[in-house]
Amino acid sequence: MHYIVLTIFPQMFNPFWTHGIIRRAIENKIISASAADIREYAHDRHQVTDDRPYGGGSGMVMKPEPLAAAIRAASQEIPGAKTVLLTPQGKVFNQNLARELATLNGLILVCGRYEGVDERICHDLIDYEISIGDYVLTGGEVAGMIIIDAVTRLIPGALGGEDAAEKDSFSNGMLEHAHYTRPRIFEGKKVPEVLLSGHHLEIESWRLKSALMRTLLKRPDLLLQKDLDRQEVKTLNRWRYDIEEILNSHYKKAGENGEKK
Ligand code: 4GX
C-alpha cells in the first residue's frame, strides 16, 4: 500500500510515521507513506490555499486549483490509487470499509481545513468521502491518521503474528474477550481460574462466552447486526433461561408478599 496525504500541515504526520506498527510497516516496505504540502501547489506569490465563500458568510473555503494540482500530482506518483476526502459528510468509517481499503494499491488522503473544500473538487477528483464519526474536527489530518492506522494493520505482514488481525474485535462482529496478565491477584481481584488451567478447549470456550457477554452488555447493537452461529444462539438461550428463572423467582416472592412490584 502506498499512502500520500495532502494537507497544509504535513509535519503533523512526522510522529505518526515514526512509531510502532506504522513505522515497522514502512521499514519492512509493507507500506510507503508521505505527506505533501498543498501550499506547494499554490502558484501565487503568497501560496494562498483558502478563499472567502461565494454567497458570503463566515469562514474560509479551500481553493480548488492548488488542491486539484496536488491530487493530480499524487495520482501520477501512485498509478491506480483511490482518493479519499475526510469530511463529516462522508460515509462513516468502520472495520468493513477498512477491509475494503486494505485491498487497494494506493490511497491519496485529502485533509481539509476551514469550512471545507470547494464542492467541484469532490465531484471529479474524489473516489471516497469518509467521516470517522459524527463530531467536528479542526481538520482532516487526525481523521486521515485514523484511516491509515486501521487500514495498515489489516495489510498482510504489517502485524507481527500473521493471524493477529483476524482475532481482533469486529473480525467476528463482536468485541474481544477479556484479557488478563500477571499477577494472579491484583488489588484483591483474581484472574478467572480457567485461564490458569491449561485446558485449551475450555479456555477457548470461556473466551467465546466472554466475548459474547461483553458484546451483549456493552454493544448490543453489534449483536443485532451479527449472524449468530449455533453455539452463540445456544449460549444466549441458556442466559435467557437463567435470567427468566431469576425474574420468575423474584415475581413469585413479590406475589407471596402481596406486593405490587
Ligand atoms: N471525519 N472534519 C474536515 C474540513 C472539511 C469540511 C468539509 C472537507 C469538507 C471530520 C470527521 C471532520 C472537520 C475534517 C471539517 N473538509 N473529518 N474539516 N468527523 O470533522 O473526517
170 — pLDDT class (breaks 50, 70, 90): confident
Q: What residues act catalytically?
A: 88, 115, 153, 168
Whether 166 shows a pLDDT value over 70: the answer reads no
Tell me the three state secondary structure of residue 108: strand
Whether 158 shows a pLDDT value over 70: the answer reads yes
The pLDDT assigned to 169 comes to 75
Q: Nearest C-alpha to atom 14 of ligand 1 is from which residue?
A: 140
- Closest ligand 1 atom to residue 112 Cα is 16
> What is the Å distance from ligand 1's center to 145 Cα?
13
Is any ligand 1 atom within 6 A of the Cβ of residue 144?
Answer: no
Is any ligand 1 atom within 6 A of the Cβ of residue 135?
Answer: yes
Q: Average pLDDT in the 32-40 region?
A: 98
Is any ligand 1 atom within 6 A of the Cβ of residue 86?
Answer: yes
pLDDT tens by residue, 70-96 = 999 999 999 999 999 999 999 999 999
Whether 191 shows a pLDDT value over 60: the answer reads yes
Mode of pairing for the β-strands spanning 32-37 and 82-92: unpaired
258 — pLDDT class (breaks 50, 70, 90): confident
Is any ligand 1 atom within 6 A of the Cβ of residue 88?
Answer: yes
Going from the C-alpha of 124 to that of each of 6, 32, 38, 85, the distances in angstroms are: 17, 26, 18, 12
Is any ligand 1 atom within 6 A of the Cβ of residue 119?
Answer: no
> What is the Å distance from ligand 1's center to 116 Cα?
7
Q: Nearest C-alpha to atom 13 of ligand 1 is from which residue?
A: 137
pLDDT tens by residue, 198-244 = 999 999 999 999 999 999 999 999 999 999 999 999 999 999 999 99
Share of the chain above pLDDT 90, in %: 92
The pLDDT assigned to 163 comes to 57
The Cα angle at residue 158 between residues 152 and 160, in degrees rounded to 5 = 140
- Closest ligand 1 atom to residue 143 Cα is 21
Going from the C-alpha of 240 to that of each of 55, 75, 186, 235, 250, the distances in angstroms are: 59, 55, 32, 9, 15
Give just the sign of the alpha carbon dihedral 210, 216, 217, 221. positive
Amino acid, res. 151 = V
Tell me the three state secondary structure of residue 177: coil
Whether 261 shows a pLDDT value over 60: the answer reads no
Check: CB of residue 231 under 8 Å from CB of residue 174.
Answer: no
> What is the Å distance from ligand 1's center to 4 Cα?
18
Q: What cell was used for 11?
A: 509535519
Whether 159 shows a pLDDT value over 70: the answer reads yes
List helix spans (H) across the chain: 14-17, 20-27, 64-77, 95-102, 119-125, 141-152, 200-218, 220-225, 230-256
Write down the mean pLDDT value for the chain: 96
Q: How far apart are CA 59 and CA 52, in angstroms?
A: 7
Going from the C-alpha of 5 to that of each of 10, 12, 213, the distances in angstroms are: 8, 11, 40
Give just the sign of the alpha carbon dihedral 158, 164, 166, 168. negative
